[in-house]
Structure 1
Amino acid sequence: MMDSPLEKARRIFHIENRTVVNCLSEFYGSLLLLFLGISIVHQFDLSHKQLNTWMQINLGWGFTIMFCVYTCSKTSGGHLNPAISLMFYTLGKLPLSHFFYYSIVQVLGAFVGTAFAYTVYLDQTHHVLGDLRIVAGPNGTAGLFTSMPAPHVSNTIAFWDQFVGTGFLALFACVITDKRLEIPFAIHPLLIGLVVAMIGMAFGMNLGYPINPARDFAPRLFAAMIGYGWEVFSYHNYYFWIPIVAPFFGAIAAAWSYFIFVGFQIPDQPPSYMKENKTDGDGIPLKTTDLA
C-alpha cells in the first residue's frame, strides 16, 4: 500500500527532540494568536467601530485562543503566554528551562504574527491614518497594537487590572486541567476560549485585557519600529512594564489560591467516578452494598 503524501512528508519533517517540537509549537501558536488577534483589533478600529462591536472583539479573541490552543494542545500544551508557562513551572508541571524557552519563542511568534496582521491591513492603515503615527490622545492609534491606558487610569489600577485579569485566566486554566474534575481533554481549549471572552467582558474597559506579556510586549516593540517610536514605552509614566510584570504575579497567586481552597480538597478518585465504574480508587471491583 502506497503511503500518502502526508505520511511521506511526516517522515521527512518529523522531529524527535521534544524540546524543539514544543518550542516550534509555542512559536507557531503565538504567531497565529497575534495574527488573528491584531487583525480583529485593526478591523474594529480602522473601520471606526463599524464592522465589529466590543462583544465581537471579546468573542473573536475567545475563538482565536480556542483554535490556537487546539492547534498546540497535543505538543506543547498550548500555553501561548509566558505567565501561564511560569504558573505551570511553579506547579511542577514544566521545567524551568522550558519556561525560558517558551517565553522567548512566544514573544518571537507574537512579533511575527503582529507583522503579518499589519501587512494584511497595510492599505487600510495608510488610507485611514496616512503617514501619521500618533501614540495616544484623541487621534492616538498605538492601541491598534498594544494596550494604552486612558490618562485617568493610574498605573496602580493598571497593575491590579492585569493581576486580576491574568489571575482569572490562570485560575480557570487550573480548574479545566485538574484531572480530579475529569473534564474531557478535547474540550479544554473550548473552555479556555470562553474564559478569555468572559475576562474581556468583565475587565476589558481599563486596558483592553492584554493578560499576556508576549501579547503586549511584542506588538509594542513592533509599533515602535514602524514609526510610533519610543513613546510607546514612555507613555503614561512608562506604563509598558506593567502588562509584562503584573500577569506573572496574578497567574501564580490565583493558581495557588485555587489549589489551596479547592484543588487540594478534592478526593483523588471522586465518588461519582467510583460508582459509575464500580471500582475503588485502585481499580478493585466494589461490592454492590458499597455503592449504596
Structure 2
Amino acid sequence: MGLPLVPKKVRSCITVKHEIARGMLAEMAGIFVLVLFVDGGLAGGIVSGWISGTPVSTAFSSGMGVAFGIYTGLAVSGGHVNPAITVGLASVGKFPWRRVPLWILAQLIGAFCGASVVFGIYYQSIDALDGGNRTVFGPTGTGGIFCTYPQEYFGMGPGFVEQIINTGLLLHCTLMFFDERNGKPTKGMEPFFVGLSVAVIILAWGHNAGAPMNPARDLAGRLLTWLAGYGAEVWVPRGVHWWWIPTLVPPLGGIVGANFYYLFVELHHPAEDGDGEGVAEELRQIQNEDVKLVDLKVGVQSNGE
C-alpha cells in the first residue's frame, strides 16, 4: 500500500465538511478545468496561426473541456460550471435560488484562475506574436483566446437573440440528458453528451459571435485581458458595448431553454406504476379520513338524541 502524500491528520484538518463550502470548491475546480481546456485549445490555434489547431478541433476541445469540468464536481456541486446552467436549473426548481449567487461567485473565481494559468503558460507565445503590444483583433490579435467577440458586421440585436438560442439549446440538452424518464444515456455518460452538445452548438452557431454560453468564462477572461493591457476594446470592441451580451444574456437563455424542455416534455411524462400507487394510497387516506369524519358526526348526533 502506498503512503499518501498528505498525512491522515492533515487531511482530516483540511477536509471541508460544510455542504455549501464543499459545493463552491467543486464548482471552482470544475470550471478551472473547463477553462484550461477551452482557453488552452484556442490559444494553441490562435498563436500558431491555426497550424496547431483548427476551429473544428477547438470546438471539440471546448466541448470535452465542459464534459471534464462537469465530471469534476458532479457528485459534490452538481457540476454546473456555468452560471447559465445554475440559473436555468433554479428556474425549474432543480436548484435552490439561495445558492445561485454563491455558485456563480465560485465559478467566476475558478474561471479567472484558469484563464490566468493559460495566459501565463502562453505568455511567451503571445509575446512572440504581438511583440508585447496586446491587441484584441487583427493579425496579432489574441483577445479571442480568453473571451468571445462578434464579427464586425454582427449587430447587438441578432447577437441578443442568438445567445438566447445558443444557451437555450445547452440547457435543453442538459435537462434532456439528465432526465431519468426520457431514455437518457447510460449512467455516468451524461456529462460527455452535454460536452458533445456544446461542441455541436459551437460548430453550428459559433461563427457570428463565438457562441459564448458561459458568462463566468467570458467575463473572467475579459477582466483578465483588460488587466493584462489589452485596453478598453475588450469591453467595447469596435466601439460597441458588446460585453453585456455574453455576460447577461446567457442566463436568460438558460431560463428559456430549461423551461422549454420542462414545459414541453418533462412536465408531461406519463405516471409510472410507483406514481399511481402513491396517488392511490393518498386517495385511500383521504377516503379513510372522510369515513372517520362521517362516523364522528353520526356519533355526535346519536349522543345528542
- The TM-score range, normalised by the shorter chain, is 0.7 to 0.9
**Cα distance in structure 1, aligned partners of 2:183 and 2:152:** 45
Cα offsets for 1:9-49 (capped at 9, x unmatched): 65343222100000001111111111221111000000000
Equivalent of 1:213 in 191, 209, 215: 215
2:299 maps to none
- Does 2:260 correspond to 1:257? yes
Change (3 A) 1:124 1:15: same
**Cα distance in structure 2, aligned partners of 1:90 and 1:145:** 29
2:116 maps to 115
2:128 maps to 127
Asked if 1 retains the 8 angstrom alpha-carbon contact of 2:47 and 2:142, the reply is no
2:245 maps to 242
Asked if 1 retains the 8 angstrom alpha-carbon contact of 2:130 and 2:141, the reply is no
**Cα distance in structure 2, aligned partners of 1:92 and 1:261:** 16
Q: What secondary structure does 1:256 align onto?
A: helix
Further displaced range: 186-195 or 12-21:
12-21
* Displacement over 4 Å in runs of 4+: 279-283
Asked if 1 retains the 8 angstrom alpha-carbon contact of 2:33 and 2:68, the reply is no
- Does 2:142 correspond to 1:145? no
**Cα distance in structure 2, aligned partners of 1:218 and 1:172:** 25
Larger Rg: 2
- One-letter code aligned to 1:245: L
Matched positions, count: 274
Structure 2: unaligned runs, 5 residues or longer: 279-305
Q: What secondary structure does 2:76 align onto?
A: coil
**Cα distance in structure 1, aligned partners of 2:241 and 2:268:** 42
Asked if 2 retains the 8 angstrom alpha-carbon contact of 1:62 and 1:193, the reply is yes
TM-score in terms of structure 2 length = 0.84
TM-score in terms of structure 1 length = 0.88
- Does 2:202 correspond to 1:166? no
When the two chains are superposed, the root-mean-square deviation of aligned CA atoms in Å is: 2.1
Query: 1:280 Cα shift?
Result: 8.4
Q: What secondary structure does 2:151 align onto?
A: coil
Asked if 2 retains the 8 angstrom alpha-carbon contact of 1:142 and 1:232, the reply is yes
Identical amino acids, percent of aligned pairs = 31
Query: 1:135 Cα shift?
Result: 2.4
**Cα distance in structure 2, aligned partners of 1:110 and 1:86:** 17
Change (3 A) 1:70 1:268: farther
Paired residues for 1:4-15 under 5 Å: 5=4, 8=8, 10-15=11-16
Paired residues for 1:43-122 under 5 Å: 43-122=44-123
**Cα distance in structure 2, aligned partners of 1:138 and 1:14:** 48
- One-letter code aligned to 2:154: V
